[in-house]
Chains A and B, each alone.
Chain A
């Protein structure tokens, strides 16, 4: 079924995930993999369980059953900061930057798990600490340059334009040195021109930062163009998976988005 050969190593493997909130089953037996260096997408109508699934991957929710592996590490039920440190970066649908910190500081926060200075070293400003700060600042600048907002390094995040804030979110996530980058509706609020540029940008991130990308996206033109594989969720279940053409012509996907045609009747 998958368009990618099964022999490729997996960057992330979510196996048979179920999430139950009381009586409500938000995600039901969903298995999902992200092959290394790939760009995959997760789509589905509103309420399909995309966000819940996302939150399981990032450690915000513990799955009722199932397991998540990042590389060869089991991260099921680990706390979010641990998972982030192990190499899972993310951006947020409604931008969540640290508004009163400069762009560079935002990126440096994400280096937390890769730095070690303790409180005494910070107060004493030891050589180790100074080196860490210097390298951190340089790396932050590198990431900001990479996403194209290097000149705004010293600007407070809240003062950046909307597009630049989106870029900063990516730069911040990249500072985690992630193996997998999760982008939650990254083109929300972008015009078609910007969305088109974004497709190239996603590819460039994948190629130059050597990571895999999972996209949750509503803009189908972006999804169809950038994804090597698309997974469709509906009402908590995986209803389809495959390349752009497979998905476009899949009857169940069309039904999920547009509803069934009248001739088929309402019973199911």
Chain B
């Protein structure tokens, strides 16, 4: 970025256009990869030999990709709060839990008080007690409940700054799962809520409809093992989150978030309402956390309070930092990588290692040691993350012009 003469600048493409192109390329890449994975697992893999199949079942089962997608959804949500608005949140698991329990309440036989069952476009078999809503509706519902919870939690805590904010969010991240553990009447305590209703792929309609006396299966209920279809559904939800992130970033609200991240006081002096704008970041992030919670519940077919622990908040944050704060695509890759490593890569590597060398090391138990080491190394050698935002790359890689001048001129 040398000082350029006006005519050179004029011929350069606008930065916003560059960003749009960049996003378009990534979006196309993501779409192709997502479709390719689906085609591969549905049509190609079954025809490959047993060795290949075993290998894939061990090292890259579709289930692990599905779980990674849950992490992607939540990490993209957390990126709004941490990466866009610059608010450190160490309690994001709270929204994940609230989303999960929303799925538990509205998609199972748990609410026995409704004896004949309340059904709405659900794929669940009829005649059971409880509320059974279509899972797409539950998604929206969970998102909205979480956004509300985000505002409720944010209203008092967002008055705090930086470290203090992080501490209080950490507190809420502990409190909310504890509430779910202990409020047995509403959550079934440690026993959790299981099983959940089977979901159906199509947005609307019951499992079958009768047209002119013939039963047509328009929306097959997906069993726990129907992972390929669930994969498609999860990809759709993840894409939605990415899409929303990118769109918001370019608009009025995204600029306000960025301004707050850069200089809160200056932002308020330029007419940006701090509280409202920060709450909006919390609400949007929490909305996505809620989606992630529902998707996680559907993925596991159950909700248990002990799944929502503090480690989740930290892993999510590690995903955002590793991938590149503020860049949705980087965060996505960070989330896919860490989630896979955590759920499949490390245990598998451990098994192979132990078999090879006859040792009995419990590799998965060292996961946090490894994450910690990775984060320390990142902070030393690549602070901006693997795929940083163009803006952030600026700070950390290029010499800062104003610094030089401050050295010459001195500060008043």
Residues of A whose CB lies within 8 Å of any CB of B are 58, 60, 79-82, 84-85, 90, 92-102, 105, 108-115, 117, 119, 122-123, 125, 129, 132-133, 136, 151-152, 154-156, 158-162, 165, 172-173, 175-176, 185, 188-189
Contact = CB atoms under 8 A, between A and B. Distances in A.
Interface of B: 1, 3, 6, 9-10, 12, 14-16, 243-244, 247-248, 251-256, 258-259, 262-263, 265-274, 280, 284, 391-392, 394-395, 400-402, 405, 409, 411-412
A112 B272 contact: yes
Contacts of B244: 123
A109 B412 contact: no
Could you say which of B1, B255, B274, B391 has the most chain A C-beta atoms within 10 Å of its C-beta? B255
Nearest to B244: A123
A84 B270 contact: yes
B1 A81 contact: no
A101 B259 contact: yes
Given A93-B412, A117-B252, A132-B252, A165 B402 contact: yes
A156 B409 contact: no
Contacts of A155: 1, 9
B180 to A, nearest CB: 28
A96 B265 contact: yes
Given A85-B271, A109-B267, A176-B271, 6 more contacts: A98-B266, A100-B262, A117-B252, A123-B248, A156-B391, A162-B409
Contacts of A81: 268-274
Contact of A96 (B248, B266, B401, B405): B266
B96 to A, nearest CB: 22
Contacts of A156: 1, 391, 394
B11 to A, nearest CB: 12
Could you say which of A90, A151, A158 has the most chain B C-beta atoms within 10 Å of its C-beta? A158
Contact of B247 (A90, A109, A125, A185): A125
Nearest to A129: B251
A85 B12 CA distance: 34
Given A84-B268, A90-B269, A112-B271, A98 B259 contact: yes
Given A122-B248, A123-B248, A99 B271 contact: no
Contact of A115 (B12, B252, B280, B391): B252
List 7 tightest A-B contacts by C-beta distance, closest first.
Answer: A113-B271, A122-B251, A98-B262, A84-B271, A96-B266, A100-B391, A110-B270
13 contacts: A58-B269, A81-B271, A96-B266, A99-B395, A101-B255, A111-B271, A113-B271, A122-B252, A123-B247, A156-B1, A156-B394, A159-B1, A162-B409
B158 to A, nearest CB: 14
Nearest to A110: B270
B255 A94 contact: no
B402 A162 contact: yes
A98 B263 contact: yes
A151 B251 contact: no
Nearest to B277: A112
A257 B263 CA distance: 34
Contact of A188 (B254, B394, B412): B412
A102 B243 CA distance: 23
A158 B255 contact: no
Nearest to B17: A154
A93 B12 CA distance: 33
Could you say which of B394, B401, B411 has the most chain A C-beta atoms within 10 Å of its C-beta? B401
A108 B255 contact: yes
Nearest to B259: A109
Nearest to B392: A100
Contacts of A92: 266, 269
A92 B269 CA distance: 10
Nearest to A172: B270
B273 A122 contact: no
Contacts of B248: 119, 122-123
B15 A102 contact: yes
A160 B411 CA distance: 17
Contacts of B255: 101, 105, 108-109, 112
Contact of A99 (B10, B243, B251, B262): B262
Nearest to B18: A154
A122 B253 contact: yes
A112 B262 contact: no
Contacts of A173: 270
Contacts of A133: 251-252
B374 to A, nearest CB: 25
A100 B395 contact: yes
A172 B269 CA distance: 11
Could you say which of B254, B263, B271 has the most chain A C-beta atoms within 10 Å of its C-beta? B271
Given A119-B280, A156-B394, A98 B271 contact: no
A151 B10 contact: yes
A156 to B, nearest CB: 6
Nearest to A99: B262
Contacts of B268: 79-81, 84
A100 B280 contact: no
Nearest to A132: B252
B247 A122 contact: yes
A158 B270 contact: no
A93 B284 CA distance: 35
A110 B1 contact: no
Nearest to B245: A123
A158 B401 contact: yes
Given A96-B263, A158-B394, A109 B273 contact: no
Nearest to B256: A112
A108 B405 CA distance: 26
A178 to B, nearest CB: 10
Contacts of A132: 252
